Amino acid sequence: MKRFGILVIAMVMLAACQQKSSTSGNSEMDGFVSDLMAKMTLQEKIGQLNLVTPGGGIPTGSVVSTDLEAKIKAGNVGGIFGISGPERLRETQRMAVDESRLGIPMIFGFDVIHGYKTIFPIPLGLSCSWDIKRLEEIAHIAAVESTADGVFWTFSPMVDISRDPRWGRISESSGEDPYLGSAIAQALVKGYQGDDLGNNKTMMACVKHFALYGAAEAGRDYNSVDMSHLRMFNDYFPPYKAAIEAGVESVMSSFNDVDGVPSSANKWLLTDVLRDMWGFNGFVVSDYTSVNEMVAHGLGDLQEVSALALKAGLDMDMVGEGFLTTLEKSLKEGKIVEADINRACRRVLEAKYKLGLFDDPYRYFDDSRPASDILTKENRTAAREMAARTMVLLKNEKQVLPLKKSGTVALIGPLADSRNNMLGTWAPTGDPGFAVTVLEGFQNVLGDQAKILYAKGANICNDPEFAAKINVFGPKIEIDERSPESMLQEAVSVSKRADVVVAVVGEASEMTGESASRSDISLPWSQKKLLQELAKTGKPLVVVNMSGRPMTIAGEVELADAFLQMWHAGVETGNALADVLFGDYNPSGKLTATFPRNVGQVPIYYSIRNTGRPQGGDTFQKFRSNYLDVQNTPLFPFGYGLSYTSFKYKELAIDKSTISNMDELSISVSVTNTGDFDGEEVVQLYVRDMVASITPPLRLLKGFQKIFIPKGDTKEVVFKIRAADLAFYHPDMKFYAEPGEFTVFVGGDSNASLSQTFSLVN
């Protein structure tokens, strides 16, 4: 049936904000920047568009810039990333301020992805907390620590939606869902930037990687992306847009192409969508040499691609110096116009103005701050509490967990005492030396109440060639001198002497992250074997999986009595894990990325649409949309996670059966803690549009609340839904809800079964 659309919220129109190339609405800033630009030579303006790194951090491509000092003094550098420390940065800034002709200060950035020195769990883990308030707080902590060390621009939040656990960078994302991803994007932007960018304890955020980087074909990093505009706007764009709405001041373009044009030169993406539709008026920086990489993409030589990027709306060129070395020539040859350079230069200068650098270029360099603001006791406590909240309990048979703080515990596994792997990927500012291992965490929490027996049991993997690929920036996989057999024997004999076995297995931190895609996302064989041998001992077996991605772990879950998905949990890993396993914290994490049964199910996510031949259940049916060799359902669905207690949902009620465009629907449910522990539950609300003009997803997350319920207590949870919440993008890119019937589901995961229906009318 053809239905009429209701225009519910502002349609995505050009009106929102025209390209702010010359006025920002802040007349003082405009005047200041105009006066400054009037004094600048063309080359000085181009210099502002140049972002360099002296190396020494983690170069993720080739380091192009040489002779940095001379370049700074010549006014050829707009910003630097990858260096820190007030003293070093003050001296570097001084070169620009005192020794360049106009003394324009530089911006200093770093990849502060999940904490500065107080490293929190990897972002995928953080998202599993569903704790928006704490997420904002930890971004604030990261900003305070970074600015204490002189760094005031972070290349975070990374908000790429990913539904493919083969892709290593799923670890840096918030998982598969645009609604949750948007809420997290906003919290992080607010946490970093605060209300006042000029405050020297807040930092400028940079939302990345715009756009669609998480949809790389076959999960292979940097690979091509190709998807419909409907999917882009409905599923992949919302978190970037949410970050813009939260006021993020900078955006990073992605490596991949979108509609056949690499993002860094994609005018539709960087100007039409980002600025004209969404009203972004900060600046856009490329990803690491992504301008130069367009040569390999096949778009032309360096001069050509640099001109394309500038014209498309890219303002700052990271590392590659294509802008620096070719734009003047392109101007002379008429490939670009001076207004293109002026526009980009203005945007970079505006950011410097907002950061307060023209008032005081040294405002972030206070030698007393590192000692008082970095890795403080309070920050470590926040990291410990947060890490505990990111862990997801996937199985707990016969209430093996929580463990008693008595008797003998065998702690086994290659990640049980592996300091180098605790921080997780993309923690270049962190120091593994400060990380608490699992063994130390157990010792801290147990003291002398229980006996701990430790054995490594297995290498993370036994293959030296694979280990070499992981160990590029330091030892993460250390292959023991002992034979695998003797390590196994030791683990088995230790386990036999214990009351319970805790096995800590998983991935080395660099088995995920950038350039760490895997086609096989199971545990390496050495660790599978270890778990099999431990299970044979007949002792209660608790498996803790420390990974940066959802893994195919069906067999290992089967072997275990209890299974906890922990992620790489940061500087307080060991303490937080001990808090959870020994019952000082009742786990409350819920998955934000679906766990497949096997890699052949990938891409896999909960918000699927029905085919014309939907499969009715989990049994194979000929000529239906299913597989011969695996069910359609995942191993663990989105939103899933157990607690030591149990929650019962009842009395789902709606206050009206029909709503109009202007109404608000109230949905209430009562949740009772029916178990023996106090606990937190993430109450989730999903909505299904029963009939629509484009195939509707079977359900979409539209609300969640994380609540604490003491044992025996009941809490009523109320959600509000308006027509605007039911809107989606249509083929003509208009955003509105269609009248008709909707079903709401409320429960503790994406399979929530309590439901009610209502109608939306014109």
Nearest distance from residue 60's CB to ligand BGC, in Å?
3
Q: Which is nearer to ligand BGC, 568 or 706 (CB)?
A: 568
Tokens found for residue 195: 């209300």
Residues 527/545, Cβ–Cβ less than 8 Å: no
Q: Which residue out of 160, 287, 373, 579 is catalytically annotated? A: 287
Among 176, 287, 315, 321, binds ligand BGC (CB under 6 A): 287
Nearest distance from residue 159's CB to ligand BGC, in Å?
12
Number of amino acids touching ligand BGC (CB under 6 A): 7
* Residues 6 or more apart in contact with residue 468 via CB below 8 angstroms: none
Say which residue the tokens 């539904």 belong to.
163
Q: Which is nearer to ligand BGC, 155 or 278 (CB)?
A: 155
Q: Which is nearer to ligand BGC, 111 or 317 (CB)?
A: 111
Asked if 111 is part of the footprint of ligand BGC (rule: CB under 6 A), the reply reads: yes
Q: How far apart are CA 681 and CA 677, in angstroms?
A: 12
Among 117, 166, 208, 369, binds ligand BGC (CB under 6 A): 208
Nearest distance from residue 63's CB to ligand BGC, in Å?
11
Residues 52/65, Cβ–Cβ less than 8 Å: yes
Asked if 353 is part of the footprint of ligand BGC (rule: CB under 6 A), the reply reads: no
Helix, strand, coil: what percent of the chain each, to 5? 35, 20, 45
Q: Which is nearer to ligand BGC, 60 or 224 (CB)?
A: 60
Residue of this chain nearest to ligand BGC (CB atom): 60
Tokens found for residue 505: 């297995």
Residues 682/675, Cβ–Cβ less than 8 Å: no
Tokens found for residue 429: 């500012």
Nearest distance from residue 753's CB to ligand BGC, in Å?
39
Q: Which is nearer to ligand BGC, 210 or 278 (CB)?
A: 210
DSSP string, 575-644: HHHHHHHTTSS------SSPBPSSGGG-S--S--B--SS---SSS--TTSS--SSS-SS-SB-TT--B-S
Tell me whether strands 740-747 and 679-689 are parallel, antiparallel or unpaired. antiparallel
Tell me whether strands 206-210 and 408-412 are parallel, antiparallel or unpaired. unpaired
Give the per-residue contact string, 141-160, with ligand BGC (x = CB under 6 A; - = no).
--------------x-----
Q: How far apart are CA 158 and CA 288, in angstroms?
A: 15
Residues 494/562, Cβ–Cβ less than 8 Å: no
Among 108, 152, 233, 288, binds ligand BGC (CB under 6 A): 288
- Catalytic residue check, 287: yes
Residues 548/168, Cβ–Cβ less than 8 Å: yes
Q: Which is nearer to ligand BGC, 216 or 312 (CB)?
A: 216
Nearest distance from residue 53's CB to ligand BGC, in Å?
7
Please give the C-alpha separations between residue 59 and each of 221, 442, 710, in angstroms, as whole numbers.
16, 36, 49
Q: Which is nearer to ligand BGC, 24 or 50 (CB)?
A: 50
* Residues 6 or more apart in contact with residue 486 via CB below 8 angstroms: none
| Radius of gyration, CA atoms only, the chain | 26
Q: Which is nearer to ligand BGC, 65 or 750 (CB)?
A: 65
Beta bridge partners of 210: 253
Asked if 223 is part of the footprint of ligand BGC (rule: CB under 6 A), the reply reads: no
Among 514, 561, 681, 725, binds ligand BGC (CB under 6 A): 514
Q: How far apart are CA 541 and CA 368, in angstroms?
A: 49
Give the per-residue contact string, 32-61, with ligand BGC (x = CB under 6 A; - = no).
----------------------------x-
Q: How far apart are CA 470 and CA 515, in angstroms?
A: 10
Q: How far apart are CA 446 and CA 440, in angstroms?
A: 10
Nearest distance from residue 169's CB to ligand BGC, in Å?
8
Say which residue the tokens 């200060």 belong to.
105
The answer to whether the bond into 752 is cis (omega within 30° of 0) is: no
Q: Which is nearer to ligand BGC, 111 or 385 (CB)?
A: 111
Cβ neighbours around 527 below 10 Å, total: 27
Four-point Cα dihedral 485, 486, 489, 495, nearest 10: -120
Nearest distance from residue 518's CB to ligand BGC, in Å?
18
Q: Which is nearer to ligand BGC, 60 or 303 (CB)?
A: 60
Catalytic site positions: 287
Footprint of ligand BGC on this chain (CB under 6 A)?
60, 111, 155, 208, 287-288, 514
